[in-house]
Amino acid sequence: MRIGLMTDLHLGLSGRPTWYNRLLGDHAETIAATAVEALQRAGVDLVVILGDISNAGLASELESARGIFSALRMPWYVIPGNHDADAVRSGAFDAAFGPHAARGYLRCGEVGMLFVRDTSPDGSPASTSFLVGSGQSSELATVLAGDEPRAVMVFTHAPLLSAKTCADTHGGKYAGHFADGADLLGRLAAGGASCRPMAFCGHLHFHHVIHAPRWAQCVTGALIEYPMEFRAVTLVGDTVKIETLPSVSPGLQAESLISADTAWVAGEPRDRQWEGVGM
């Protein structure tokens, strides 16, 4: 199985504000459409879009996203990010994406796929506080234990595990993680699969991979700003391989990149290409 991941499209953003680099709001739709074309060429079997699809949770932004994603010729799923929170609360997010709006558990071959949404009361775009919630955690752990897949993949918008050390190392801002994310991974690792669970997320706008004996986490950088790349995750037997692939032209990347000092968001080699046994 080969899964494509992209995140943080921020459709509807105007101008060129900065986070780590310039967010190219004037090219947001073009960037998203180009990423879809790149995913087609990468030969992935399934695509997951990891949140912050819209910039303000507006119906027009969601409609634009649905139109762009409808070009995908393989199954695709979306989860909301903090910038999509207003649309989630109003029901517009699920209405816009229908069966593509994933939540809960999905079995795909030998892989158990868990889609986790933020349950914290503060879902504002500026929020750095995220919560799995005891109810959602219990439900996911129970259904996983009853199914016993060979591999477990967890999809969230914000990270389950902290990656603050990476941001601090480069003097960068840190956008937060799930306060109880490690608890969820611990419960999943304790049973329900023959290998460690692997979590995939966006939100932080930089590439980063953390791996430990009991679990692993892959953070994917943003499409709206440098490095404007997506991930391809290939599972063969007990081995998982993570590749980082370009989605836009070098020219657009250069428009976003501020300086050599902000290029760190593309990650170290171990953050960009990673292969592990037993997930």
pLDDT tens for residues 218-251? 999 999 999 999 999 999 887 899 999 999 999 9
Average pLDDT over residues 5-12: 98
Bridge partners of residue 46, in order along the sequence? 3
Share of the chain above pLDDT 90, in %: 86
Residue 125: its pLDDT value, please?
A: 83
Rg (CA), the chain: 17
**Among the ranges given (4-13, 43-52, 143-152, 203-212), the one the predictor scored with the smallest mean pLDDT:** 143-152
What average pLDDT does the chain have? 94
Residue 273 CA, distance from chain mean position: 16
Smallest CA-to-CA distance from 137 within 178, 89, 187 is with 187
Pairing of strands 111-115, 104-108: antiparallel
* Rounded to 5°, angle at Cα 246 from 88 and 216: 60
Contact 111, 1 (CB under 8 A): yes
CATH class of 2-277: alpha beta
Q: Is the pLDDT of residue 279 over 60?
A: no
Ranges of each domain in the chain: 2-277
Distances from the Cα of 176 to the Cα of 126, 198, 240, angstroms: 10, 19, 26
Residue 195: its pLDDT value, please?
A: 67
User: Reading across the β-sheet that carries 111-115, which strands appear in turn?
Assistant: 104-108, 111-115, 151-155, 198-201, 216-219, 208-211
